[in-house]
Structure 1
């Protein structure tokens, strides 16, 4: 007997053995998400189950092929006008899940695919959880990444199930766990092949017995920290200190998550639930959460787009990579492991090919050792990588990505080689970080198939890829390259050709200004701390050491050639480079790389080299404003010139490419929050005192005069 209300996301099938299979399948969606209107639908189903005494167990399962429940539909939060509105949503979820937990018969969650956020909270309210051993299965509470906390009982149930420390780690990072980890931690009771998941869950429900209260597995130290008042004080105080050191007070959600967990443990489940709902409501109304949700919606939107509207990407069956260095090795890795495409690597030396292969091996063997991957899976992925010191094996490559030295002549020669050795439809994608693509395509026979594809280092971790089209690049090439980058796990942003493209162009004036501030005598650590406090993951001087001072400054002449003295670098860079200071890579830079803590403290000899006496005469706020204003103004010019297609693309590019503070929403969201008039006033103030480089962009002046915003 199967029952389903018209257009309902839930259907009920009562089996002959007395088990009711409750299937969730949201109509018209590829994945299940929880919506407010589902409360009534699931309530009706639970009423029917409770009214039938013949039912002795329930299995909750998804009707989707590869998703349990991917979370709650966060778009519903936009309708909340007050914290109380959002708190009501939280309480509604809590009440529904509590009803499931209070049922007289066991409820078994059969999990295949993502069980995230509200999806995991739903599963936690069930009495048993069984998951598939599929790579698609992952369980987590990622709400913190949206500036929120689990609002349907997650802060209370997960710590009680697996222990405070592991639960807190999952909630504060938002990182999901795979099936094997979920089984190890005790989140699920069993892990089975997907083919028998439903049968195992039904068999468990048919026993008709709810489990005895569970206790998390804790070692001696764990018992002290979690089971004694003194231990708890130590644990929560330490958690708050560590959280504050990481967030710098810019993200309110982690602190409130800790508060919810502590309240629930010390004052009981009822008070824990109450504080969870209240904090959830408060967080929904914070500007930080609003901006983080904006980023979520923007990236979701971008996943649905092709490079050029209406132009479908071409088919890719094989990829070539030129250069076996760190970038080439990283590009080959994400192509084989994420896109699942065979890769042919070319380098002038056999050692280069070996290094590129080793790059992938080293990353994959770590997964094998941690049991995230089978050795056979690793071998299958490594088998996709081959190499040669000539162009043999490149004839059938559909796209060739070049990752060699920043030299126009060399790159032009590569274009000619690819055109001579590959088929007529092969796309040539250059991973240049600064050279205009039109120059690389200058001598090409088929310039319409030349494009820029700028990755960020390390390629396996950085989520952004800039897709750079010059004037002659075809729409087909753009769409195919965007699709390729997306298949590699990247968020591609299409930008217009020109020196520095978008990300490096807005980064350069920011870095230059940090150097100018240094030359006024401000201590290096003072500058870096000011920008980390502002919200960047690392300060500008430290960043320069990390990427390489020689590499970081190489783009400056290219930018000056196109844009003039606005990009003139500080004299400091010339002196530093003349002293052979390249940063971390040659253990000689702005920071000291000798001793027990390499890179943690400033190399004091840098001040002598620059002829300055460090003195913290400028506030951290002023330092941050000077540097950031240069970046914001440049971003506005990029939009004005059509370098980026929209404020949205500019925000995502800056956040994913250089770590612009996500809680501020990106440069354009941040400028909207400051207001165009404020932007122009501050830029004019600095232009008066520090020079024309701070002259406000025309677009900002126009917006200030007409009271306009980047986002309507």
Structure 2
């Protein structure tokens, strides 16, 4: 069945509706080329004046290529054929004797925008949901359907590079301003305006709309060389050389300017084929599929929606939670703090973020005010009577959180959910004095809330299925990717983070320099090093979590005494201006006085690779334990949690994918070597069992968890017997 339906209007303009049967989104498939060829031929046979392509979907034009198609490419030649097929199809579209128009409403991304670029005209709606872009870099790819060739000729080299290297999605007004589209109109007249364009004949070639400086740079070889060289430097600085796609994009764009058309398109196709086969792209595509699958889980449209929320605590975390609840989820939000200043600070937090959006013309002043009107504040429980969910975001104190549960039960409805943003306390302990424990759940955000995509949802044994479903639904409305984890101290993300940070501190105490430790992990692929991360979170926050983890999980979570000395000296990190680094307007730098405070003489002993290996080994070992104990439901959840929660390098696919690539035996061998000096590195029994069997977390040779547990029990029995 064709994805295209063809209709000829009274002005002899063919209106072609794109509608992939049975799918919510239009995506490009292998069969697209043949269907397109047939439609274009029909237009020629009918001697039409023009052809308009419009979507049959209510909220997207073409959302991109079907990524599953790439997994069918077993060889580089298979991947090359996909790009060449797209090139041929879009060349055919471009060379029709009649004008073609892309009428865009909703997403036109990746291959969808490349399809539109091959049309003679583009017109889009002024709707907020209309976004255009080439985000292939986020999957470790480059646009393989001519995007690197056509986009620079429309918007200029610098703008095209900026959009493709970041995967930026451009809004309708900006698309018109830059010349990406010819017009931007209300949805009600989209088809009419597109039909009018279709009768105007083929458009004349135009130059990109550039300012004088850009025009000067892009109009000569010397200036273009500066642009490409600077782009390469920026890419290497930001990616550390871990991601090959950006450099391939630069190469293809350069080819579009410097080579003849045939060679330039060949450069793009070959770059695309090379990238499809890389482990980096496979890892990034795996993340995409995993997050797509997760959106279908715990989904229950029959439960009541969360429309009114309250946030307890006006600190940075509470302010961030209030912001995403009001802005992303569109909920009414009531902020409660013990002081009016706390409420004011929290509301100002949202106002500052929205003001930046207004200045960039992403939202109007009226929209800003309308959004702010959804946020109110109080120092008591007034206005809580009809709240659907109360999210607690205060410091880690069990008695305080239990008292808040009691207050909410007294001041809210019988079915109001109490969601705790605790980062380490077991939810069962918070709920143990509750009258309605079925309403109590953990909802753990990461800072800064408006930027970090993950939330951990933690039901205790008494949490109702309805509470879980409502919480998951609300988290998704907030724009978050939720993972449901087991109720045990530290949950998943903080549990794998704590030993990683502890090892970094131990290395510091052994004489390794602060900047060397952090740089080692940045070079490994983390966005920031562990000591810099601790400064950002707050050293006092980490110190409150550590004793909880040690009490519940054992000696291996004991934090180094160095943290206590830092707290006593009021060096809590960025918020006090001093931690492991000092923070000034000019930026941050290592505070050398830390060494004296901790009684350390900086004496580098290990190389950066060894430093990274020791810290990451702790994280991998604890991740394996979490899966074994059922803290996370699957390796997939563990990978997404680590990537979205603490910035585990996406190009490695997450801790479980990384362990699979290395092999359980190699991971165990490395841990055993370190364990000879420090028993906290002792490999988890489940990892040892996997190493013995040659098993992986993913794939056909995977050992079932129950099988591993059985082996562990058997091993334990043998040890006890001996």
- TM bucket, shorter chain: over 0.9
- Is residue 232 of structure 1 aligned with residue 224 of structure 2? yes
Equivalent position to 2:25, from 27, 31, 45: 31
1:49 aligns to 2:43 (yes or no): yes
Given candidates 319, 325, 333, the residue that maps to 1:335 is: 325
Partner of 1:4: none
Q: CA deviation at 1:602?
A: 0.9
Number of matched residues?
Answer: 699
Indicate the residue corresponding to 1:275 in structure 2.
267
2:162 aligned with 1:169: yes
Change (3 A) 1:118 1:522: same
1:72 to 45, 60, 65: 65
- The reply on whether 1:655 has 2:647 as its aligned counterpart is no
Q: Which moved more, 1:642-651 or 1:565-574?
A: 565-574
Q: Per-residue deviation at 1:609? A: 1.8
1:185 to 178, 193, 207: 178
Q: 1:12 aligns with which of 6, 15, 18?
A: 6
Residues 546 and 558 of structure 2 are in contact (CA less than 8 Å); yes or no, is this contact kept in structure 1? yes
SS of 2:502's equivalent in the other structure is helix
Aligned to 2:91: 98
Give the counterpart of 2:564 among 574, 578, 586: 574
Between the aligned partners of 2:587 and 2:33, the Cα distance in structure 1 is: 55
TM norm structure 1: 0.97
The 2-side partners of 1:632 and 1:77 are apart by 29
Q: Which SS does the other structure have where 2:89 is aligned?
A: helix
Map of 2:459 onto structure 1: 469
Supply the distance in 1 between the matched residues of 2:672 and 2:304 (Cα, whole angstroms): 48
Query: Quick check: 2:543–2:564 contact (8 Å CA) kept in 1?
Result: no
1:260 aligns with 2:252: yes
Deviation by residue 1:431-455 (Cα, 9 ceiling, x = unmatched): 1111111111111011111000001
After superposition, the C-alpha distances for 1:555-611 in whole angstroms (9 at most, x for unaligned) are 1111100111101112322222222211111111111224x6331x21111122222
CA contact 1:312–1:480 (8 Å) conserved in 2: no
Deviation at 1:634, TM superposition (A): 0.3
State the Cα deviation string for residues 402-457 of structure 1 (Å, max 9, x = none).
11222111111100000001111111000111111111111101111100000111
**Equivalent residue of 1:508, what SS?**
helix
Q: C-alpha separation between the residues in 1 aligned to 2:61 and 2:573?
A: 47
Give the whole-Å Cα distance in 2 for the aligned partners of 1:143 and 1:235.
Answer: 21
| Map of 2:293 onto structure 1 | 301
Alignment of 1:632-671 (within 5 A): 632-671=620-659
Q: CA offset at residue 387 of structure 1?
A: 2.1
| Structure 1: distance between partners of 2:311 and 2:582 | 36
In 2, Cα distance between equivalents of 1:465 and 1:280: 34
Between 467-476 and 505-514, the greater mean CA deviation after superposition: 467-476
- 1:399 aligned onto 2:394: no
- Measured after TM superposition, the shift of residue 177 of structure 1 is 1.0
Q: Could you tell me whether the CA contact under 8 Å between 1:527 and 1:539 is conserved in 2?
A: yes
Query: What is the distance in 2 between the residues matched to 1:312 and 1:510?
Result: 41
Q: Does 1:672 align with 2:664?
A: no
Tell me the residue number matched to 1:3.
Answer: none
CA distance in 2, matches of 1:365, 1:100: 43
Deviation at 1:311, TM superposition (A): 9.1
| 1:312 CA displacement | 4.8
How far has the Cα of 1:705 moved from its partner?
Answer: 1.1
Q: Secondary structure at the match of 1:496?
A: coil
Given the alignment, which residue of 212, 216, 223 partners 2:208?
Answer: 216
1:400-415 paired onto structure 2 within 5 Å: 400-415=390-405
**Is this contact kept in 2: 1:306–1:313, CA < 8 A?**
no
2:669 to 678, 681, 702: 681
Encode CA deviations 1:26-45: one digit per residue, 9 max, x unaligned: 00011100001111111110
- Other-structure match for 2:679: 692
Query: 1:496-516, CA deviations, whole angstroms, 9 ceiling, x for partnerless residues?
Result: 111111101100000000111
Q: CA deviation at 1:336?
A: 1.3
Give the whole-Å Cα distance in 2 for the aligned partners of 1:407 and 1:157. 58
The 3 A distance-change label for structure 1 pair 442 and 335 is same
SS of 2:572's partner is coil
Listed one character per residue, the Cα deviations across residues 527-546 of structure 1 (whole Å, up to 9, x for unaligned) are: 11110111000011111111
Between 37-46 and 574-583, report the one with greater CA deviation.
574-583
Alpha-carbon separation, structure 2, partners of 1:97 and 1:179: 23
Equivalent position of 1:368 in the other structure: 358
Is the CA contact 1:466–1:492 (under 8 Å) kept in the aligned structure 2? yes
- What secondary structure does 1:593 align onto? strand
Q: Is the 8 A contact 2:396 2:544 kept in 1?
A: no
Instruction: Tell me whether 345-354 or 699-708 shows the greater mean CA deviation.
Output: 345-354
Are residue 559 (structure 1) and residue 560 (structure 2) matched? Answer: no
- On the 8 A contact 1:133/1:194 being kept in 2, the answer is yes
1:615 maps onto 2:609 in alignment: no
Partner deviation per Cα, 1:265-318 (whole Å, 9 max, x = no partner) = 1113221110100010000000000000000000011111116xx795333231
Q: Name the CA distance, whole Å, in 1 between partners of 2:208 and 2:261.
A: 16
Q: How does 1:77-156 map to 2 (within 5 A)?
A: 77-156=70-149
Greater shift in the superposed pair: 391-400 or 645-654: 391-400
- Unaligned 5+ segments in structure 1 are 1-6
- Is 1:591 aligned with 2:581? yes
Counterpart for residue 703 of structure 2: none
Task: Work out whether 1:546 is the aligned partner of 2:536.
Answer: yes
Deviation at 1:474, TM superposition (A): 1.3
Q: 1:452 aligns with which of 442, 453, 456?
A: 442
Which stretch of the first structure deviates more once superposed, 386-395 or 500-509?
Answer: 386-395
In structure 1, C-alpha distance between the alignment counterparts of 2:529 and 2:622, rounded to whole Å: 19
Change in 2 beyond 3 A, CA 1:312/1:701: farther
Contact 1:454 1:465 (C-alpha < 8 Å) held by counterparts:
yes
- Contact 1:306–1:312 (Cα < 8 Å) also in 2: no
* 3-state SS of paired residue (1:541): helix
Relative to the length of structure 2, the TM-score reads 0.95
Contact preservation (8 Å) 1:431, 1:453: yes
Structure 2 gaps, min length 5: 700-722
- State the shift of 1:231 in Å: 1.0
For residues 132 and 667 of structure 1, what CA distance do their matches in structure 2 show? 42
Contact 1:311 1:476 survives alignment (8 Å)? no
Specify which of 242, 257, 260 is matched with residue 250 of structure 1: 242
**Superposed CA RMSD:** 1.2
Q: 3-state SS of the aligned residue for 1:606? A: helix
- 1:249: Cα distance to partner? 0.8
State the distance in 1 between where 2:15 and 2:83 align: 26
Greater CA deviation, 281-290 or 569-578?
569-578
Q: Sort the Cα spacing of 1:377 and 1:626 in 2 relative to 1 into closer, same or farther, 3 A.
A: same
CA-to-partner distance for each residue in 1:623-646, whole Å, 9 max, x for gaps? 110000000000000000111111
| Equivalences for residues 420-569 of structure 1 within 5 A | 420-569=410-559
SS of residue matched to 2:587: coil
1:290 aligns with 2:282: yes
How far 1:651 sits from its partner (Å)? 0.6
SS in 1 for 2:204: coil
Structure 1 counterpart of 2:702 = none
d(CA) in 2 for partners of 1:328, 1:575: 28
Relative to 1, partners in 2 of residues 1:58 and 1:311: Cα closer, same or farther, differing over 3 Å? closer
Deviations 1:116-135 (A, max 9, x none): 00000001111111000000
